[in-house]
Chains A and B, each alone.
Chain A
Amino acid sequence: MTADGTFELREHTADVGVAATGPTLGAAFAAVADGLAAAQSDDVAESGDRFDLTVRAEGREALLFDYLDELVYQRDVRNVLPVDHEATVERDAGDGDEWVLTGTARGVPLGEIHAREVKAVTYSEMRIEETDDGWEIYVVFDV
């Protein structure tokens, strides 16, 4: 689990919602990713190697969408459940005005745990808000 971000799974009729907070945008993003992992497995495993990822997008919400989409992709091609997320988010205000996430995750081999599939991230009801204490995020996943 990320040291400084927290998440909660929320009810959603057809799908599952994740509400997360973090003192920084990166921490909040990582907490959502932890929520994505929790939505897929109740098991806690210590195994697996860490891997890095970098995601770029044109805006904050697009970056979150692409980040979570990338994690689902990595899950399927590496055959691991990405857990234990860390992330930093920076805005590269240069030419392209890009948002960049650099992060790491630990990939727990799917064979070692009971996991079920989150099919995709959605934009449905997505919210990213700055608060006095940092950031609050809500995302719905298609299960």
Chain B
Amino acid sequence: MTETYDADGITLEKVRDYVWEIPREGDMRAPARVLASEALLEEISDDKTLQQIKNTTHLPGITTYAVCMPDGHQGYGFPVGGVGAMDAENGCISPGAVGYDINCLSGDAEVLLSFGRRRRIEELASDFEDERVVVAGDDLVESDVRLFTETEDQQVYEVETETGETIVATGDHPFRTPEGMVELDELSVGDNVFVHPFRGIEDEEPDEFTVLTEEDFTAENPQLRRVLKERGLLPLKSTDEEFNHLLKLVGFHTGDGAFSESSGHTWFYGDPEDLDEIREDIRQVGFKPSRIYERERNHEIDGNEFERIEYSVRGTSKAFMKLLQKLGAPRGKKAESDFTIPWYFDRLADWQQALYLSASFGAEMNAPAAMADKNLYCPKISHNRIRERADDGERFLRGIADALNDLGIETNRVERFETDSNADHEMVRLRLGVKNDPENLLRFFTTVGYRYNRGKQRKAVEAVQYLKYKEAVIDRRAEIAEEAAAMADGGVAANEVKAAFDEVNERFVERNIWSGRDGRPRPPEDFPGFEEFCEEIDVRENFTVETTISSIEESGTGTVYDIGVEHNAHNFLANGFVVSNCGVRMMKTNLTYDDVQGKEEELVDQLFANVPSGLGGGGVHQADGRELDEILERGVDWAVDNGYGVEDDLLHCEDEGRRPDADPSKISKKAKDRGRNQVGSLGSGNHFLEVQRVTDVYLDDVAGAYGLEEDQIVVLIHCGSRGLGHQTCNDYLRDIEKRHKGLLDQLPDKELAAAPAGSRLAEDYYGAMCAAINYAWVNRQLIMHRTRRVFEKVFGRDWQGMEMHLLYDVAHNIAKKETHEVGLDSAGNAVPHEDAVDTGERELYVHRKGATRAFPAGRPEIPDVYEHVGQPIIIPGSMGAGSYVLRGGEASMTTTFGSTAHGAGRLMSRTQAKNEYWGGDVQDELREQQGIYVKAQSGATVAEEAPGVYKDVDEVVRVSDELGIGDKVARTFPVANIKG
């Protein structure tokens, strides 16, 4: 039996020692894990820590699990000590018209839904959670909708393409282009975008009726009935999801299927990739499809024998066979059968009829093709019946014609001809064609078209683009003809009229001004033929094609809508918890405790006087004008160039002190205002600078590589990106709130605000956060360098002589793009293990809030000097307790996305601490009993940070060490501490 731990309404299951899991339930998208001993669990079981780690699993795109480090405690949004990783790639969604990611589109933009339905985006409001939309990833796939938003009074633009698609969207609406997603503001006339020409049929609620009941299967054995009932297929209603899948299968099978009555097999024939889709639909109905079979067949046509490989797939359940037959799939030889359109067909919603029709066209109708060079042939469906059954065959085709006519698609009369008769029967060939005038063909290809036949679907896309392009050219010529005639009527000389329309040849103008013309002009001579056109355009695997923007015009203001989808775009960059990018660095010295004893008071006073701290204390450097942008852009590189450090410092910093993805332009003026005078300042609260001595070494070889030994003096600096980081965080929190309200409303906590990966906001935020991280590194660098100067003064030696070198600097409030091995779904997106079909490497946004990256030896991200031993991790303790140096543990990659704890974790509120402790007493006690010299701007800060308010850092580190996520290397103990 699983051991459990009950914590105020939340039950944790023990996975193994120190690993607890909160299983997935409700809206959780992944399980949550807590890494803790029972003693540590007890400390968080009454506050909101566990609820918060649970809440974080609601974030779309979370992979594997959210995990709480041993020092976890209650924060806002994410718990402090929380790690979560989300898929970092962008996905997109496909409305019928231009562009994909529906960022902000006018309400009448159409969205393509599952089962070939389309709906105006504004009409998704009521039930978007239940809908599946079609997404153009690499392939065309369906995806759940996870958010819907509506924003009023937005400036919108109407975009038109050369092939006639139009859409109204806001300036930040991204369009898929050959260069990736590009926002409308950055697009201009002449640029290419991808479109997905298939629109589908307008969505409607089908009439509910019972299609099949148990009664229909009374002739069958009870087991067969049970199989169907178990799958929820009896009774079968017109509104059942399974029924829609069945309509497609029946439609296709009627064309290219067969039954083996004796074995109970249902065969489908087609190309392998189309058969894969059929397999998926068989699965959706609840049956297991076979693999795809392949066999060589010899054919003889006109005396020529040739070989062909035939592919097929079969349903192996007799119940499945009977089900299709009851739904109208013909048994036996089709030519001898009396089948017609299924009996229930007239009662179906239009889109349901289209499912059946398109599948049967995929099997039976010929592909779009050129008749004469610039006109298309009418696509036809034809089949043979024996003379006795010819009337049934005609009824079948008439049923199809009626259905198409109801959808606004015109058809030709059903044709009947005598054909080669075989020995036993006279055969009749029946044929139905879709009228080939361009408008009719366009309607047919974009609303019904073909299904289960990628070859024909691709050709239909080419036909649609060809016809639209041709129509657009003809429209323009008609316009010219009219204008030219009007000019001529008004007395303008023929030469001038010709000159005014140099885009057409002179003869065209002449014909129109002299002879007049009835009807629409023809396309020009040099207009490409259909086959020629097809060679030029490239229909992608997802049935999109490139087209060119012909105009972008302001279109006033209006209400715009936004939906977000699960697929790929379900990757989130959580904002609320990447706050001030605080982190720690440790600087080594070659001094020993003996060298410092007796000088502690002077040291603490000098540090306090020289390292800016507290409110309004200014910074080491005032960054004016462009300088702040340089800091944000270049990080520690800037500091070294400006005399606040040496090259060697860069080599010992995470990312060599510079986040390459930083984008200073994404940080607001307000945030910059706050940042200018705080470069090189500690701030207050739990941030501090501490002179420490090494008291214990646990791993000699690693300590050796880090340059640590017992009794050595080191300096630990713990602070972040200050006001600039906090302002940036709140700026984006508010932006996300305004732009992604629908998503936010679904999350259990507003502080979990997140921007969909791939959205502009997510990219902006990532650029801003990386810039803030650079600022934080510079901040700690300037403090460290100032500390070197202070040591020079106090000890009367130069800092190089005291070997004051940086051990490492690592941020512990950060979201970072990193590659990890995770579970993948069939589309290759990172997902929790229980949803995964595979595992593999995937780029993720790894969020560490109050958690430290802990990469083991061998990872290329670690500075070269430490690559063979693993990354140093600095865990600051509280004032009276020790701090630790750990190294990245081997198990961290598989347990915690390469993370471990970041500190002790608070136990007691500040208010309570102030009631329990008096700053002066704490200070005296520390000095007298432990030899620790503390100096702070305010006594209250000392009380608030008293040793008793923190968790036992020893226990936190013990758990990290036991789990193998961060191995204990050395322990340090405070000598002198300054804080704000």
Smallest CB–CB gap between A97 and chain B, Å? Answer: 9
Q: Cβ of A11 and Cβ of B616 under 8 Å apart?
A: no
Query: Which residues of chain A are within 8 angstroms of B615 by Cβ–Cβ distance?
Result: 40, 75, 81, 110, 115-117
Query: Which residues of chain A are within 8 angstroms of B727 by Cβ–Cβ distance?
Result: 69, 73, 120
Smallest CB–CB gap between B979 and chain A, Å? Answer: 9
Smallest CB–CB gap between B868 and chain A, Å? Answer: 37
Q: Cβ of B76 and Cβ of A140 under 8 Å apart?
A: yes
Q: Does A53 contact B (CB under 8 A)?
A: no
Q: Does A93 contact B (CB under 8 A)?
A: no
Q: Report the Cα distance A97→B941, complex, angstroms.
A: 42
Q: Does B749 contact A (CB under 8 A)?
A: yes
Point out the residue from A76, A116, A122 that lies within 8 Å of B614, measured CB to CB.
A116
Query: Which residues of chain A are within 8 angstroms of B750 by Cβ–Cβ distance?
Result: 123-124, 126
Jot down 27 A-B pairs with beta carbons below 8 A, ordered by A: A9-B911, A11-B909, A12-B909, A14-B74, A14-B906, A58-B738, A62-B734, A65-B734, A66-B734, A69-B727, A69-B730, A72-B723, A72-B726, A73-B673, A73-B674, A76-B723, A96-B153, A114-B937, A114-B939, A116-B614, A116-B940, A116-B941, A119-B723, A120-B727, A123-B750, A124-B749, A143-B685
Q: Does A60 contact B (CB under 8 A)?
A: no
**Chain B residue with minimal CB distance to A12?**
B909
**Chain A residue with minimal CB distance to B616?**
A110
Q: Cβ of B911 and Cβ of A10 under 8 Å apart?
A: yes
Q: Does B239 contact A (CB under 8 A)?
A: no
Smallest CB–CB gap between A83 and chain B, Å? Answer: 13
Q: Does B910 contact A (CB under 8 A)?
A: yes
Would you give the 0/1 interface string for A105-121, flagging 1 where the beta carbon is closer than 8 Å to chain B?
Answer: 00001110011110111
**Chain B residue with minimal CB distance to A70?**
B670
Smallest CB–CB gap between A67 and chain B, Å? Answer: 12
Point out the residue from B77, B673, B912 that lies within 8 Å of A124, measured CB to CB.
B77
Q: Report the Cα distance A56→B755, complex, angstroms.
A: 23
Q: Report the Cα distance A13→B730, complex, angstroms.
A: 21
**Chain B residue with minimal CB distance to A123?**
B750
Query: Which residues of chain B are within 8 angstroms of A142 by Cβ–Cβ distance?
Result: 76, 579, 726
Smallest CB–CB gap between B107 and chain A, Å? Answer: 19
Q: Report the Cα distance A110→B940, complex, angstroms.
A: 16
Q: Report the Cα distance A121→B727, complex, angstroms.
A: 10
Would you give the 0/1 interface string for A67-104, flagging 1 where the beta carbon is closer than 8 Å to chain B?
Answer: 00100110111011100000000000001100000000
Q: Does A15 contact B (CB under 8 A)?
A: yes
Q: Does B75 contact A (CB under 8 A)?
A: yes
Q: Cβ of B579 and Cβ of A120 under 8 Å apart?
A: yes
Smallest CB–CB gap between A141 and chain B, Å? Answer: 10
| B residues 874-913 in Cβ contact with A at 8 Å | 906-912
Q: Cβ of B730 and Cβ of A121 under 8 Å apart?
A: yes
Q: Report the Cα distance A68→B822, complex, angstroms.
A: 41
Would you give the 0/1 interface string for B935-959, flagging 1 where the beta carbon is closer than 8 Å to chain A?
Answer: 0011111001000000000000000
Most buried by A among B738, B911, B941: B911
Smallest CB–CB gap between B959 and chain A, Å? Answer: 20
Q: Cβ of A123 and Cβ of B941 under 8 Å apart?
A: no
Query: Which residues of chain B are within 8 angstroms of A12 by Cβ–Cβ distance?
Result: 74, 909-911
Query: Which residues of chain A are within 8 angstroms of B911 by Cβ–Cβ distance?
Result: 9-12, 16
Smallest CB–CB gap between B791 and chain A, Å? Answer: 27
Query: Which residues of chain A are within 8 angstroms of B47 by Cβ–Cβ distance?
Result: 13
Q: Cβ of B938 and Cβ of A116 under 8 Å apart?
A: yes
Smallest CB–CB gap between A44 and chain B, Å? Answer: 15
Q: Cβ of A95 and Cβ of B153 under 8 Å apart?
A: yes
Q: Cβ of B730 and Cβ of A120 under 8 Å apart?
A: yes
Task: Give chain A's interface residue range (CB within 8 Å of chain B).
Answer: 35 or more
Q: Does A42 contact B (CB under 8 A)?
A: yes
Supposing A14-B906, A62-B734 touch, asked if A119 and B912 sit within 8 A by C-beta, the answer is no
Smallest CB–CB gap between B507 and chain A, Å? Answer: 56
15 other A-B residue contacts (CB within 8 Å) besides A110-B616, A117-B980: A15-B910, A40-B615, A58-B738, A66-B734, A72-B726, A77-B673, A109-B616, A114-B938, A115-B614, A115-B938, A116-B614, A119-B723, A120-B726, A124-B749, A143-B944
Q: Does B580 contact A (CB under 8 A)?
A: yes
Q: Does B683 contact A (CB under 8 A)?
A: yes
**Chain A residue with minimal CB distance to B941?**
A116
Q: Cβ of A111 and Cβ of B616 under 8 Å apart?
A: yes
Query: Which residues of chain A are within 8 angstroms of B938 by Cβ–Cβ distance?
Result: 114-116
Query: Which residues of chain A are within 8 angstroms of B726 by Cβ–Cβ distance?
Result: 72, 119-120, 142
Q: Cβ of A73 and Cβ of B685 under 8 Å apart?
A: no
| B residues 162-209 in Cβ contact with A at 8 Å | none
Query: Which residues of chain B are within 8 angstroms of A125 by Cβ–Cβ distance?
Result: 76
Q: Report the Cα distance A98→B940, complex, angstroms.
A: 40
Considering only CB atoms and an 8 Å cut-off, how many residues of chain B contact the other chain?
A: 47
Smallest CB–CB gap between B141 and chain A, Å? Answer: 35
Q: Does B510 contact A (CB under 8 A)?
A: no
A-B pairs, top 10 by smallest CB distance, nearest first, are: A110-B616, A124-B76, A11-B909, A123-B750, A120-B726, A117-B684, A76-B674, A116-B684, A11-B911, A115-B615
Q: Report the Cα distance A96→B153, complex, angstroms.
A: 8
Point out the residue from A15, A40, A73, A117 that lies within 8 Å of B76, measured CB to CB.
A15
Q: Cβ of B685 and Cβ of A116 under 8 Å apart?
A: yes
Q: Report the Cα distance A42→B939, complex, angstroms.
A: 11
Query: Which residues of chain B are within 8 angstroms of A9 by Cβ–Cβ distance?
Result: 911
Query: Which residues of chain A are within 8 angstroms of B910 by Cβ–Cβ distance?
Result: 11-12, 15-16, 143
Q: Cβ of B734 and Cβ of A122 under 8 Å apart?
A: no
Smallest CB–CB gap between A95 and chain B, Å? Answer: 7
Q: Does B605 contact A (CB under 8 A)?
A: no
Query: Which residues of chain B are within 8 angstroms of A15 by Cβ–Cβ distance?
Result: 76, 909-910
Query: Which residues of chain A are within 8 angstroms of B980 by Cβ–Cβ distance?
Result: 116-117
Smallest CB–CB gap between B591 and chain A, Å? Answer: 31
Q: Cβ of B76 and Cβ of A42 under 8 Å apart?
A: no
Smallest CB–CB gap between A5 and chain B, Å? Answer: 20
Smallest CB–CB gap between A114 and chain B, Å? Answer: 5
Q: Cβ of B751 and Cβ of A13 under 8 Å apart?
A: no
Would you give the 0/1 interface string for B724-767, flagging 1 where the beta carbon is closer than 8 Å to chain A?
Answer: 00110110011001100000000001110000000000000000
Q: Report the Cα distance A25→B326, complex, angstroms.
A: 68
Smallest CB–CB gap between B232 and chain A, Å? Answer: 43
Q: Report the Cα distance A140→B77, complex, angstroms.
A: 12
Smallest CB–CB gap between B32 and chain A, Å? Answer: 19
Q: Cβ of B685 and Cβ of A122 under 8 Å apart?
A: no
Most buried by A among B907, B909, B937, B944: B909
Smallest CB–CB gap between A80 and chain B, Å? Answer: 8
Smallest CB–CB gap between A71 and chain B, Å? Answer: 12
Would you give the 0/1 interface string for B37-56, flagging 1 where the beta carbon is closer than 8 Å to chain A?
Answer: 00000000001000000000
Most buried by B among A12, A58, A110, A123: A123
**Chain A residue with minimal CB distance to B79?**
A14
Q: Report the Cα distance A80→B615, complex, angstroms.
A: 9
Supposing A16-B909, A77-B674, A95-B153 touch, asked if A117 and B685 sit within 8 A by C-beta, the answer is yes
Query: Which residues of chain B are within 8 angstroms of A14 by Cβ–Cβ distance?
Result: 73-75, 80, 906, 909
**Chain A residue with minimal CB distance to B750?**
A123
Q: Cβ of A119 and Cβ of B580 under 8 Å apart?
A: yes
Query: Which residues of chain B are within 8 angstroms of A72 by Cβ–Cβ distance?
Result: 723, 726
Q: Report the Cα distance A62→B906, complex, angstroms.
A: 29
**Chain A residue with minimal CB distance to B724?**
A76
Query: Which residues of chain B are within 8 angstroms of A81 by Cβ–Cβ distance?
Result: 615
Supposing A14-B73, A16-B909, A75-B615 touch, asked if A119 and B685 sit within 8 A by C-beta, the answer is yes
Query: Which residues of chain A are within 8 angstroms of B723 by Cβ–Cβ distance?
Result: 72-73, 76, 119
Point out the residue from A73, A120, A126, A143 that lies within 8 Å of B670, measured CB to CB.
A73
Q: Cβ of A123 and Cβ of B909 under 8 Å apart?
A: no
Query: Which residues of chain B are within 8 angstroms of A120 by Cβ–Cβ distance?
Result: 579, 726-727, 729-730
Would you give the 0/1 interface string for B69-89, flagging 1 where the beta carbon is closer than 8 Å to chain A?
Answer: 000011111001000000000
Q: Report the Cα distance A66→B730, complex, angstroms.
A: 9
Q: Report the Cα distance A31→B576, complex, angstroms.
A: 26
Q: Cβ of B674 and Cβ of A123 under 8 Å apart?
A: no
Most buried by B among A15, A111, A119, A121: A119
Q: Report the Cα distance A52→B730, complex, angstroms.
A: 22
**Chain A residue with minimal CB distance to B727?**
A73
Query: Which residues of chain B are within 8 angstroms of A96 by Cβ–Cβ distance?
Result: 153
